[in-house]
A and B are shown apart, each in its own frame.
Chain A
Amino acid sequence: MTAALRFDPIRLPEKCEQLRKEVRAFLAEEIAAGTFDPHKPNREDTDVPEFSRKVGAKGWLGMTWPKQYGGHERSFLERYVVTEEMRVANAPTRRFFVADRQSGPVLLKYAPEHIKMDILPRICRGEVCFAIGMSEPNSGSDLFAAKTRATKTDGGYLINGTKIWTSSAHIADYMIAIFRTSPSTKENRRHGLTQFLVKMKQPGIQVNPISQITGQKEFNEVVFTDFFVPDDHVLGEIDGAWKQATSELAYERSGPERFLETYYVLTELVRAVGNNPDTRSAEGIGRLVAQVHTMRRMSVSVAGMLQAGKEPVVEASIVKDIGTVWEQQLPHRVRDLAAFVEETATNRETLEKQLDFAIKTAPKLTIQGGTTEVLRGIIARGLGLR
């Protein structure tokens, strides 16, 4: 077989179930205290800094990182449980999620020691927000067409150009971005990009929020004008960011956030249908539950591979591909079934509001973090087709 796919039935160990109870209890307390509303999907405009700090205080940020940097040396599977419980409860994770999932691991691998000692413990305490600066106006899928320049100057680099679609840049303290340090070569068009740590809220950097079809302003245009980045903020190899960026994306691709973003509508549908469903509703719900269960088993399986130190690039891409297509279809399938819900169902209004929001969010799900088409290219490569 060209690419033997394996999705072993990894089971979460007992300590994960213990942890799950703690997370649920914490979330219930926060909901009771009014910190966030679980019936409101993870609205990007509900930025709740205190919540981040409380999650950090619980020890649920940087869970897998070394203790010397404030981490907790726990397993990917434990982190998995925390992520999915937060997601399902619609907790406001936006402020810390990118740092925890992606930026922290990049710093751990590529940042100089003094920067790790400075920033990582603060991420673990839930004090800092990160943004990812990859896309540019003329390079989204084609990451290697990025043009924003980093020009060498005394003690560092001067940045000129524009990043776009940068989630959370308006609240972020840092951005990890790729900039062009030299032209690409004939032999390697991916050559010439370097990864930098950018401190936001400095002169020379302007963040312009962009309104989305949901009405939120969650992503941004970020304009750099002679913006200075010191030498020790270079992450990894000069001109070699393409290797780093692709491995970073593996973390971004298979987690529970990749199939649970619209999950809340399914819960509300079950509530509206009540405990004596007609055949059509029962069948529709049964299929959706079978699908989410399968997605989750695949996602847990990939978490198990990460835990075992493997690099499941193809498997992670498969999970993101079918997971995001699924979460995109889910609100539409729920809408089909909701047409038969009693007018008097107690939560009908909540369900309708949620459906409106979920249907509006759905189009982005197969675009952010690498489009479906690009992912299928990666899978095809894994199958030996390219």
Chain B
Amino acid sequence: MAESDNIVAETAEKIFADLADAQTINRDTKGEWKAPLWQALTEAGLPLSWVSEDCGGSGASLAEGFSVLSAAGRFAIAVPLAETMLAGWLLSQGKIASPDGEMTVVPASPKDKITLNADGSLSGKARSVPFAKAAKHFAVLASDAKGSVSIALVDAAKCRIEAGLGLGGDDSDTVTLDKVQPAELKPAPKGFDQTRLMLMGGVARSLQIAGALESLLEISVRYSNERVAFEKKISKFQAVQHNLARLAGESAAALAAATSAADAVANTKEFNDEVFLEAAAAKIRCAEAAEKGGGIAHQVHGAIGFTSEHILHRYSLRALAWRDDFGSESYWAVELGKLVCDRGADELWPLVASR
């Protein structure tokens, strides 16, 4: 899945390479690259990859969509592609057709709750929602006083949006719903809850982080083979080689964790402890890899990598920012730890070995 091994991912790769090259984007301070990119992605049906054809989507498999996200990570794509894909997926869980245009999911953090009021309206606040300002619609997960879970399509114009900026420079906004009437509202399927949404979002972010790390490794290796210091390429210094070997290790760990979780989610019939382990572990390990690997990539680049002109930050800061969406690594570590303790010591190895 790391490489484009399906036509959907290949299409995505080609569009990213043509229209979202990091150098071009970095030079374009006005963001003029965004509209043509989004248009090309839309024409290729990618934002609605996970929506069936009869609901207006392109009906790609979960696995195909996941490999689009890996590629999006490798290009550090800064348009709401992952978010629209997730929103479309969430809506189709409630058998709600997806509208055209940019979307995102609300809430985007396990701590935020949206309530379904008795009159069918929605209330609540969701922080750090990626690309809320850019979205035309929100896919909302809400629960009522009794705890029943519903999925809603909400017109973004009906909500209050306070613009924010995430660590990576992408929109990360606060969305307030004050008795907003949804355009559509459906009960969520049995067993579907906010944890599932967060884990799905977490797997998406894990793949993006792993992709960004692949690029961080690639550009760091390339740079070390170009930069000369003390009359030799810095790649010839053992200390630099060892740093890059460690970066390769972190990149490999992120890739392994993320692709394994994606594979687990794509092939699961029942969202059990084992799938929870895969998804939570991926978010935890990829976030750790982003911290360690990103640090090394910057170290190898020296001062040049600290400039806004250089493309390095497009990957490094985004990888760091993605750690926080849909539950941070500390959040999931607590949840996973609780699950492990609840099952007891003798069930730990059987759980790990089950995957």
Contacts and interface: CB of A to CB of B under 8 A. Distances in A.
A376 B241 contact: yes
A203 B332 CA distance: 61
A2 B342 CA distance: 44
Nearest to B242: A376
A297 B245 contact: no
B291 to A, nearest CB: 12
Given A84-B353, A267-B348, A1 B245 contact: no
Given A4-B2, A286-B332, A287-B329, A273 B348 contact: no
Contacts of B240: 385
A279 B214 CA distance: 33
Interface string A371-386: 0010111011011111
Contacts of A281: 337, 341
Interface string A62-95: 0000000000000000000000110010000000
Nearest to A320: B249
Q: Which of A275, A289, A315, A377 has the most CB of B within 10 A?
A: A289
A380 to B, nearest CB: 4
A20 B332 CA distance: 29
A284 interface: yes
Interface residues of B, number: 61
A285 B340 contact: yes
Given A3-B248, A5-B251, A287-B333, A294 B241 contact: no
A380 B241 contact: yes
B341 A276 contact: yes
B249 A289 contact: no
A379 B257 contact: no
Q: Which of A7, A273, A293 has the most CB of B within 10 A?
A: A293
A286 B285 contact: no
Interface string A126-166: 00000000000000000000000000000000000000000
Given A9-B263, A285-B340, A297-B256, A385 B225 contact: yes
B344 A270 contact: yes
Nearest to A296: B352
A283 interface: yes
Interface of B: 1-3, 214, 217-218, 221-222, 224-225, 235-236, 238, 240-242, 244-246, 248-253, 255-257, 259-260, 262-264, 277-278, 280-282, 284-285, 288, 329-330, 332-338, 340-342, 344-346, 348-349, 352-353, 355
A385 B222 CA distance: 9
Contacts of A290: 257, 280-282, 284-285, 329, 332-333, 336
Contacts of B333: 282-287, 290
Contact of A380 (B222, B244, B250, B334): B244
A270 B355 contact: no
Contact of B280 (A286, A375, A376): A286
Nearest to A372: B242
Q: Which 3 A-B pairs have the closest CB atoms?
A: A282-B337, A286-B333, A286-B337
Q: Which of B1, B260, B355 has the most CB of A within 10 A?
A: B260
Nearest to B237: A385
A283 B334 contact: yes
A115 to B, nearest CB: 37
Interface residues of A, number: 59
A8 B259 CA distance: 7
Given A297-B256, A385-B225, A292 B352 contact: yes
A383 B1 contact: no
B208 to A, nearest CB: 17
Contacts of B353: 20, 84-85, 88, 296
29 contacts: A1-B217, A3-B248, A5-B248, A6-B2, A7-B255, A8-B259, A9-B256, A270-B345, A271-B345, A273-B341, A279-B334, A282-B338, A284-B337, A286-B338, A287-B333, A289-B337, A294-B256, A294-B285, A295-B253, A297-B260, A314-B248, A321-B249, A373-B242, A377-B238, A379-B244, A382-B248, A383-B244, A383-B248, A385-B240
Nearest to A88: B349
Nearest to B289: A294
Interface of B is mostly: helix
B216 to A, nearest CB: 12
Contacts of B3: 4, 6
Given A286-B336, A297-B260, A386-B236, A379 B284 contact: no
Contacts of A267: 345-346, 348-349
Interface string A2-21: 11111111010000000010
A1 B249 contact: no
A87 B214 CA distance: 32
A270 B214 contact: no
A273 B338 CA distance: 11
Contact of B336 (A9, A289, A296, A376): A289
A298 interface: yes
Contacts of B337: 277, 281-287, 289
A274 interface: yes
Nearest to B330: A283
A305 interface: no
Contacts of A276: 341
Contacts of B256: 7, 9, 294, 297-298, 301
Contacts of A271: 344-345
Contact of B257 (A294, A382, A385): A294
A306 to B, nearest CB: 16
A376 B246 contact: yes
A293 B277 contact: yes
A5 B264 CA distance: 20
B248 A286 contact: no
A8 B1 contact: yes
